[in-house]
Chain A
Amino acid sequence: MSREKRFSPFRNINFTMGLWITLAILLIALLSLGYTPFDPNRMNLSMRFQAPNSNHWLGTDQYGRDILSRVMKGAVNSMIVGVVAVSIGMGFGIFLGSLAAFYKKWVDETIMRISDVLYGFPAVLSAILITSILGPGVVNSMMAIGIFNIPIFARLTRATSLSVWERDFVASAKAIGRSDAEIVWKHILPNILSPLIVQGTVQFAIAILAEAGLSYLGLGTQPPHASWGRMLQEAQTFMGTSPWLAIFPGCAIALAVLGFNLLGDGLRDMLDPKLARIQQRI
């Protein structure tokens, strides 16, 4: 008797690698809330431009601040921006997408046309425009990135829930007198959750990149708070003599984005069996 292969998410290399990387970054971020080797914002001019050594593992910057501690604090910043930006995008996007799918006609047309306009706008451009209105700062940059996420989730919610509304179990729920809001909450949303989660991980990676870009331009996190993008911007002036200033924060961004991208790829393979089958075939 042939033994049936048991499903294990860890068979998927993308998922496994992505999960380990994101877990590591999350743990570092959590750890930095209670512990960092040095105070990340404390200046020590006698220790300026220290190359990586046994005391300062990743070296020090132009103010003598410990790079490792700042990279660790930067992880908290990136995680918060990712969570808030994706939550804003998901919250409003799911609401608007559900409205479009439910009411159809002019409601659908209006929401989708506005989404099209916003969707056609590149993320960085939208974020720059919005932070220029609201002013620079981490809260405003989170909002800017979140607003850019809204049309992405609205379109996805609408596209996936349209077919679910035609399913028999929704018709049955209507027949037994369930309210529309109840049907959306209990029947539509659970059935469209997989693609939303996958998109959420992808948007998380994009949010980290966008925040780093905004902070690099001086529109995101403001000094003295640590942000990977801001650290890179400050490093550029001194990179000829102290290249480590420009290397470690960049590695942190790349690793975090890589982790979420791999996790998204892995989740998509597992949660979307149709796509997984196509990929196996090719």
Chain B
Amino acid sequence: MGIYLLKRFFILLLTLLLVSMAIFAVLLVIPSDPAQIILGIHATPETLQTLRSQLGLDRPVHLRYLSYMKNLALGDLGHSITYDIPISALIFSRLQVTIPLAIFSMIFAIVVSIPMGIYSSLHRNRMGDYGIMIFSQIGLAVPAFWAGILLILLFAVTLHWLPAGGFQPWQVDPIKTFKSLLLPALSLGMVRAAVLTRMTRSSMLEVLGEDYIRTAQSKGLPKRWVIYKHALRNAIIPVVTIVGLQAGDLLAGAIIIENVFHLPGVGRLVFEAIGQRDLPVIQGVVLLIAMMIVVINFVMDVAYRYLDPRIRYE
């Protein structure tokens, strides 16, 4: 176990290093000059050159990368050109929107999908099963941002139950904040719910056909006990992995959803930064999302092996 963890951790570090290099390299190609953005189009060549030197843009690429990594290790992601504040502070303030959004949508997806997947597997090839499978196919086909627009149309424009967009800080009015995150979380969670329902159903069907389930049934154990104690405990393992993989997609999906609902989250920040050519912010946000995805995958991989003792630590 120890060696396996060490090996996985080494791969994690290597992946993070590759990701940081890839993002740094990709953003070097962007046709924009941070000095020009800061000083505007009327800046003289001399002032532009001076600022480029101050920002270190005239240094060789490898030195810029090394100093970027050194600052990164100290938690310094640089300064935003547009907002003129440290990027880490900027991202941190935006995370109070994105993290609850991702958590709410994942909770919604899990709460809806696991009972539906179990029901569907226990009523295979019956009306309920067909209904749930049709729902999941539709859930996979509907883009989250269109679901968001339809939800706004129904709950905000027609029924006036929930706000169509915007966000208030948690400290001001937590109930209002919760309400403003409800529709975005539903639209983001719907697609995840469809995937998890299919996964739970197929995983349950596979486990229900195993010998030990038949043994448990023949021992006369109550049906509920067999389903929840024996079948679900084993069927849930691959579902946990998918939940982990979905976490990365959730963060990326938030970019579009935050734009639909005008939420000032990390997704909207990166989108605005692209428009403003705020290179350090793009670099910081993309690196953060990538790091989160890599770390979540690592945790899920370890959790998967912990949950399923049949998997060897090679």
Using CB atoms and an 8 Å cutoff, list the residues of chain A in contact with chain B.
113-114, 116-117, 120-125, 128-130, 132-133, 135, 205, 209, 212-213, 216-217, 219, 229, 232, 235-236, 239-240, 243, 246-247, 250, 253-255, 257-258, 261-262, 278, 281-282
Contact = CB atoms under 8 A, between A and B. Distances in A.
Contacts of A243: 153, 157
B202 A120 contact: no
Contact of A129 (B143, B208, B260, B286): B286
B209 A282 contact: yes
Given A129-B286, A217-B259, 20 more contacts: A113-B14, A114-B18, A120-B294, A122-B249, A122-B293, A124-B253, A125-B255, A125-B286, A132-B30, A133-B26, A212-B146, A216-B259, A250-B142, A250-B143, A253-B141, A253-B143, A255-B141, A257-B142, A257-B143, A258-B138
Interface of B: 14-15, 18-19, 22-23, 26-27, 29-31, 137-138, 140-143, 145-146, 149-150, 152-153, 157, 202, 205-206, 208-209, 248-249, 251-253, 255-256, 259-260, 270-271, 274, 282, 286, 289-290, 293-294, 297
A227 to B, nearest CB: 13
Most buried by B among A122, A250, A261, A281: A122
Contact of A254 (B22, B141, B282, B289): B141
A166 B313 CA distance: 27
Contacts of A281: 209
B146 A254 contact: yes
Closest 8 A-B residue pairs measured CB to CB?
A122-B252, A250-B146, A258-B141, A282-B205, A257-B141, A132-B274, A125-B252, A254-B141
A260 B153 CA distance: 28
Secondary structure call for the A interface? helix
Contact of A239 (B18, B153, B282, B286): B153
A236 B138 CA distance: 22
17 contacts: A113-B18, A117-B19, A122-B249, A122-B289, A124-B255, A124-B256, A133-B30, A133-B31, A212-B145, A212-B146, A213-B145, A217-B256, A246-B153, A250-B149, A254-B146, A258-B137, A261-B137
